[in-house]
Amino acid sequence: MQARGKFIVIEGLEGAGKSTAVSIVSQAITQAGHLLANTREPGGTPMAEAIRECVKHDWANEKVTVEAELLLMYAARAQLIQNVILPRLEAGSWVLGDRHDLSSRAYQGGGRQISCEMIESLRNITLGGFEPDFTLYLDVEPIEGLKRAKGRGELDRIEQEDLSFFERTRARYLELAQQDPNCVIINTMQDIDRVHQDILAAIHHYLGK
Beta carbons of 28 and 203 less than 8 angstroms apart: yes
* Contact residue for ligand T5A among 79, 126, 135, 188 (CB under 6 A): 188
Beta carbons of 108 and 99 less than 8 angstroms apart: no
Q: Say which amino acid occupies 153.
A: G
Q: Say which amino acid occupies 155.
A: L
**Number of H-type helices and E-type strands within the chain:** 9, 5
- Position 137 contacts ligand T5A (CB under 6 A): no
DSSP H/E element including 11:
strand 7-12
209 secondary structure, DSSP code: -
Of 149 and 202, CB closest to ligand T5A: 149
- Position 158 contacts ligand T5A (CB under 6 A): yes
> 153 exposed, middle or buried (CB, 10 Å; 0-12, 13-18, 19+)?
exposed
Beta-ladder partners of 176:
none
Of 18 and 168, CB closest to ligand T5A: 18
- Position 195 contacts ligand T5A (CB under 6 A): yes
- Position 119 contacts ligand T5A (CB under 6 A): no
Cβ 3 to ligand T5A shortest distance, Å: 28
**Four-residue CA torsion sign, 118, 104, 58, 146:** positive
- Position 12 contacts ligand T5A (CB under 6 A): yes
Candidate ranges 16-24, 57-65, 87-95, 122-130; the one touching ligand T5A (CB under 6 A): 16-24
Q: Please, which of residues 42-71 interact with ligand T5A by CB under 6 A? A: 42
- Position 73 contacts ligand T5A (CB under 6 A): yes
- Position 19 contacts ligand T5A (CB under 6 A): yes
Binding site for ligand T5A (CB under 6 A): 12, 14-20, 40-42, 73, 99, 103-104, 107-108, 148-149, 151-152, 158-159, 188, 192, 195
